[in-house]
Amino acid sequence: MVYQVYLRSFADSNGDGIGDLAGLRSRLPYLAWLGVDALWINPHYPSGGADGGYDVVDYRAVDPEYGDVADLEALVDDARRLGLRVVLDVVPNHTSDRHPWFQAALADPDSSAAARYHFAPPSDEPPNNWQSLFGGPAWSRTPDGRWYLHLFAPEQPDLNWREPSVAADFEETLRFWLDRGVSGFRVDVAYGLFKDAGLRDNPGSYAPTLFGHGPEQAMTWNQPEVHEVWRRWRAICDGYPDTMLVGEVCLADLEQVARYSRPDEMHQSLSFRLLKSPWATESFAEAVQSALDAFGRVGAPASWVLGNHDKERQVTRFGGGTVGTARARAAALLMLALPGSAYLYAGDELGLPQAAVPDEAKRDPIFFRSGGTRAGRDGCRIPMPWNASAGVGFSPEGAAEPWLPIPAEWEQYAVSRQTRDGGSMLTLYRRALALRAALPALGSGDATVGTRGDVLTVRSVGETETVRCVVNMGAGTVLVPCPGSVLLASTARVHHSAGSIALPPDTAVWVTED
Ligand code: NOJ
Ligand code: CA
């Protein structure tokens, strides 16, 4: 299981209100105790700060707010001693507008640096109809009137991957970090990089409600040339033992997503069906089955994501309060039963809800670029509550205010509290991960998915045992046959007698077959 660390919000060691590498390092024993195999750290690079670190100024350095390269090496070493691997985030689709290349390109339109971006000569209209994913047109003007392309914020100019020096530089970056012992990379916007060579208009526009980009955005994403990049990156990683590449591939068609993890490309590609599925058996079953089919065809493990730093927290998405929490607990058992790689976003193991962030404290460019019509992603990026004390132990005592405000009532979610509570979300995750590590049927079985009314079942056959995960997504209690034993339940309210289980609404169980 890969645990996603939102570095800025994980643990602050020096009291400036910002999470950092030393803070994360001090919390590694927690991650080992929880049962994590690897951690993926959101971008740690010097950044312009326009998009939570995804606007990188220097790819071979550490933002001084987070520490330095020696801190990262110490983190990797400590992690390895605890059996944890460290995966970094790499951002090849765009740089920061403060990156030396873009600065050089602004200063001189004829420079070699300018060839590394997409510029167009001054004119009244932008070169095409492309839209920024954060709202508004994907083209902005330079002070001298030229247009430049940014599929995200204007502070994130898109790189021109048809220019060979761009590729060469990223390959050096990969080696730089691999030489320092990291175990690989999560690749941001891996379905991007190349654009239509003629920069032609898109046939349609993207709606955030879709599962991912499709034919309506055919000119901006998923160009065939990008697969050659992943082949080269794969060859580099193959030179370092036990490393991996996992791509963010936000495409609607899972067959297309799976192509990014063909045997000579990345090891895994992240898809987001589960993350976007409403609480209903058909949607969940379809999400699971289509991923098993698509990834099965290329021989890659499917990846499962229920939460990340871009989406509303699960508990809230599933209805909030007791219902949302019950469903998030059940969803955890479903995800951890599935074969493949599970991704757990920091704080989801505590059942954190989406926080209401006052407008004046917001940081996300989505909020600002949508003129406040989209709430933005700050509410899922709040600092972690560690202790049930004022300040919840994110920073040392007497520290500056945290970079995003922590809701006062979050003491109830603190790690210290949940470790002592046998019924907590944290305890559930820990037990589930321990079983997953012990039983091959969980996480690496041969799975079949079935539905009956509001009940979803995943049956996983492992080498030595068969486990069924049964989820009741309906409003009434259902009777589930259970000839074997109950391994784990998402609720204490499960009654097992005479070969069957009474499974309440919004709960899940893991049962053996004999
Ligand atoms: C995907 C990242 O997950 C998101 O946080 C970021 O804003 C965009 N890529 C742009 O880099
Ligand atoms: Ca700090």
Does residue 434 belong to any structural domain of this protein? Answer: no
Residue 514 pLDDT > 90, yes or no? Answer: no
How far apart, in whole angstroms, are the C-alpha atoms of residue 55 and residue 91? 8
CA distance 232 to 239: 11
Average of per-residue pLDDT across 371-387: 96
Q: Pick left, alpha or beta for residue 321 (phi over 0 → left; psi -120 to 50 → alpha; otherwise beta).
A: left
Q: Where are the alpha helices (DSSP H) in 347-424?
A: 365-369, 415-419
Instruction: Output the CA–CA distances (angstroms, integers) from residue 504 to 425, 489, 492, in the order listed.
Output: 17, 11, 10
pLDDT value at residue 495: 85
pLDDT at residue 494 in the model: 87
Ligand 1 in contact with 113 (CB < 6 A)? no
Q: Which two tokens stand for residue 445?
A: 């079985």
**CA-248 nearest atom, ligand 1:** 1
**470 and 345 part of one domain:** no
- Is 392 within the bounds of a domain? yes
What one-letter code names the amino acid at 134?
F
- Identify whether residues 214 and 260 lie together within a single domain: yes
478 lines ligand 1 (CB under 6 A): no
Per-residue pLDDT tens for 10-36?
A: 999 999 999 999 999 999 999 999 999
Question: Does ligand 1 come within 6 angstroms of the Cβ of 345?
Answer: no
Look at the block and give the residue holding tokens 């309210």.
493
Q: Do 80 and 108 fall within a single domain?
A: no
Crossing angle for the helix pair 425-438 and 321-337, to the nearest 10 degrees: 10
Which tokens hold the place of 72? Answer: 């990262």
Mean pLDDT throughout 240-258?
97
The pLDDT > 90 percentage for the chain reads 94
Q: Compute, in angstroms, the gap from residue 49 CA to the centroid of ligand 1.
A: 13
State residue 206's pLDDT score. Answer: 79
Average pLDDT over residues 299-313: 97
Please state the atom number of ligand 1 nearest to the C-alpha of residue 55: 11
Phi and psi dihedrals of 502, rounded to 5? -95, 110
The mean pLDDT value for 208-231 works out to 91
The CATH number for 341's domain is 3.20.20.80
- 437 domain-assigned: no
Structural domain that includes position 468: 445-512
In a domain, 26, yes or no: yes
* Span from the CA of 384 to the centroid of ligand 2 (angstroms): 13
- Give the residue from 368, 399, 429 where a domain finishes: 429
Instruction: Identify which of 300, 396, 431, 423 has the alpha carbon closest to the alpha carbon of residue 26.
Output: 396
Closest ligand (CA of 12) = 2
- The region, left, alpha or beta by phi > 0 then psi within -120 to 50, assigned to residue 88 is beta
What long-range pairs does 291-297 form, CB within 8 A, spacing at least 24?
291/254, 291/340, 292/339, 292/447, 292/449, 293/254, 294/254, 294/255, 294/257, 294/258, 295/254, 295/258, 295/261, 295/340, 297/255, 297/258
Beta carbons within 10 angstroms of residue 15's beta carbon: 12
> What is the CA 233 to chain-centroid distance, rounded?
20
Q: Is 211 in the pocket of ligand 1 (CB under 6 A)?
A: no
Token couple for 300? 């890659």
Q: What is the CA radius of gyration of the chain?
A: 23
Q: Which amino acid is at 291?
A: A
Among the candidates 429, 458, 484, a domain finishes at 429
Confirm or reject: Cβ of 40 under 6 Å from ligand 1: no
Q: CATH number, domain at 459? A: 2.60.40.1180
Query: What sign results for the dihedral spanned by CA atoms 313, 318, 321, 322?
Result: negative
Indicate if 135 and 169 belong to the same structural domain: no
Quick check: is 436 in a domain?
no
134 CB within 6 A, ligand 1: no
Q: In terms of domains, do 60 and 10 share one?
A: yes
Is 498's pLDDT higher than 90?
no
Token output for 466: 């068969």
C-alpha dihedral (261, 263, 264, 269), degrees to nearest 10: 10
| Average confidence score pLDDT of the chain | 96
Instruction: Give 270-288 pLDDT, tens digit per residue.
Output: 989 999 999 999 999 999 9
Residue 157: inside a domain: no
Statement to judge: residues 295 and 391 lie in one domain: yes
- Listed in sequence order, the residues at least 6 apart from 100 whose beta carbon sits closer than 8 Å to its beta carbon are 57, 113
The CB of 51 under 6 Å from ligand 1? The reply is yes
148 three-state secondary structure: strand
Distance from the CA of 404 to the center of ligand 2, in angstroms?
13
Q: Contact, 96 vs 155, CB < 8 A?
A: yes
With a 6 Å cutoff on the Cβ, whether 54 touches ligand 1 is: yes
Q: Which of 305, 310, 343, 377 to mutate to test the pocket of ligand 1 (most atoms within 8 A of CB)?
A: 310
| Ligand at shortest distance from the CA of 343 | 1
* Whether residues 90 and 123 fall in one domain: no
pLDDT at 208 over 90: no
Residue 10 in tokens: 């994980």
Q: Which of 51, 88, 272 to mutate to test the pocket of ligand 1 (most atoms within 8 A of CB)?
A: 51
Å from CA of 405 to ligand 2 middle: 15
With respect to residue 130, please indicate whether it lies within any of the assigned structural domains: yes
pLDDT at 265: 98
| Residue 145, pLDDT score | 97
Domain count across the chain: 3
- The pLDDT value recorded for residue 439 is 96
Tokens of 204: 């349609």
Q: What percent of the chain has pLDDT over 70?
A: 99
Residues 183, 253, single domain; the answer is yes
How confident is the model at residue 149, as a pLDDT? 98
Nearest-ligand number for the alpha carbon of 13? 2
206 and 104 both lie in a single domain: no
Looking at the structure, do residues 114 and 36 belong to the same domain, yes or no?
no
Does 262 lie in the same domain as 376?
A: yes
* Residue 242 reports pLDDT greater than 90: yes
Cα of 54 from ligand 1 centre, angstroms: 6
Provide the CA 436 distance to its chain's centre, in angstroms. 21
| Residue with CA at minimum distance from ligand 1 atom 10 | 54
Residue whose CA lies nearest to ligand 1 atom number 11: 54
**189 pocket-lining for ligand 1 (C-beta < 6 Å):** yes
Q: Which of 429, 458, 492 is where one domain is finished?
A: 429
Distances 325 to 89, 267, 315, 348 between C-alpha atoms, Å? 29, 32, 5, 10
Average pLDDT score over residue span 76-105: 98
Please tell me the residue having the least CA distance from ligand 1 atom 4: 310
Residues 127, 28, single domain; the answer is no
pTM for the whole structure:
0.98
In a domain, 462, yes or no: yes
Give 293 Cα–ligand 1 centroid separation in angstroms. 27
CATH number for the domain harbouring residue 120: 3.90.400.10
